[in-house]
Amino acid sequence: MTDTATEPSRRTSLKGSRGGEAGDRVFSGLALTAGIVILLVLAFVAVFLLIESLPALWPEAFSDQDTIESADTFWQYVWPLMAGTLIASIIAILLATPVAVGIALYISHYAPRSIATPVGYVIDLLAAIPSVVFGAWGMTVLAGAMVPIYAWLNEYLGWIPLFGGTPTTTGRTLLTSGVVLAVMILPIITSLCREIFLQTPKLHEEAALALGATRWEMVKMTVFPFARAGIVSSIMLGLGRALGETMAVTLVLSPGIFSWSLIQSGRNATIPSEIALNFPEAFGMRQSELIAAGLMLFIITLAVNMVARWIVSRHKEFSGAN
């Protein structure tokens, strides 16, 4: 018995294929298809939004009315909603980011493993809580608790327009909504930042320590610069979630006309909560208005993502990726 039959055959020519490129072709085909499908879906959504919005955007041409229902022009109707959406989201980001980065850093670089692991686990669990739960908590617990804080802000900082006017007695304001959104996106940002911080190469951390850096200096010198792009991305992900959040805001906010004061009830509104509150009964022109408002949100989100990409790419050369 010889085992020559089981010996792998040796190649004698450079020409011809080794075999196995089929895998490459299948994979690149799959990747391409997936990419095209995503683009198509996006384009489809955009086209749908645009077509359905046309009567509200340009009533003279696309409807039998001269104006929209809720205001004289669409812009008059939509700008307070856009402002409310942006303000609530920015409040959320401003409050959540420093806390999230702090917690993430504590877990990744300061806490002993016996604490870091369970805390990280709890944060990941928080990220999975549905937003309606945050909304219910904001409405029943947080709103009431914020009332005395608003009274204080109004009394001592009332000269700042943001805290002016008559303070709320229910606490159901845009600022409360922002705080609820902050709590909601906190675990998302924390969780992502922790992953990114943990990926800082040990090599570079040790380089800093060996130069005589304290732990905090090491973090500033290696962890933060290395994680910059990732932190921006995680903030944008949080911002995206805050911009589009419906339930958490709808349950908390008692909406109304736009006001710079963030501590009055019956003021301000956001696009998602406006849509959620009114869509079920809307038809005709009113429905177009709401969809057009949705289109604006779509554009805002797109713009936010583009700005984020631009920020991330600005320092590519020094990103550590090369």
Give residues in contact with other proteins (CB under 8 A).
112-113, 201, 203-204, 206-214, 217, 221-222, 225-226, 228, 315, 317-322
Kindly tell me which of 226 and 298 has the beta carbon lying closer to other proteins: 226
Kindly tell me which of 109 and 172 has the beta carbon lying closer to other proteins: 109
CB of 310 to other proteins, least distance (A): 18
Kindly tell me which of 205 and 245 has the beta carbon lying closer to other proteins: 205
d(CA 120, CA 130): 19
Q: Is 67 helix (H, G, I), strand (E, B) or coil?
A: coil
Show contacts of 131-134: CB within 8 Å, 24+ apart: 131/184, 131/245, 131/246, 131/247, 131/248, 132/247, 132/248, 132/251, 134/180, 134/183, 134/184, 134/247, 134/248
CB of 137 to other proteins, least distance (A): 37
| Side chain identity at residue 22, one-letter code | A
CB of 83 to other proteins, least distance (A): 37
Which is nearest to 162 in space by CA: 94, 73, 229, 248? 94
Kindly tell me which of 46 and 111 has the beta carbon lying closer to other proteins: 111
Instruction: Write down how long the chain is.
Output: 322
Q: Which residues pair with 130 in a beta bridge?
A: none
CB of 210 to other proteins, least distance (A): 4
Buried/exposed code over 95-111 (b: 16+ C-beta within 10 A; e: otherwise): bbbeebbebbbbbbbeb
CB of 299 to other proteins, least distance (A): 33
Does residue 294 come out as left (phi exceeding 0), alpha (psi in the -120 to 50 range) or beta? alpha
CB of 305 to other proteins, least distance (A): 24
| Side chain identity at residue 233, one-letter code | S
The 8-class DSSP code of residue 73 comes to S
Q: Which residue has the tokens 């949705």?
A: 294
Kindly tell me which of 98 and 201 has the beta carbon lying closer to other proteins: 201
Kindly tell me which of 78 and 227 has the beta carbon lying closer to other proteins: 227
Q: Which residue has the tokens 């320590």?
A: 209
Kindly tell me which of 81 and 101 has the beta carbon lying closer to other proteins: 101
Kindly tell me which of 23 and 112 has the beta carbon lying closer to other proteins: 112
d(CA 32, CA 25): 10
CB of 309 to other proteins, least distance (A): 19
| Side chain identity at residue 12, one-letter code | T
d(CA 98, CA 88): 17
CB of 239 to other proteins, least distance (A): 24
CB of 212 to other proteins, least distance (A): 3
Are 249 and 177 within 8 A, CB to CB? yes
Kindly tell me which of 70 and 319 has the beta carbon lying closer to other proteins: 319
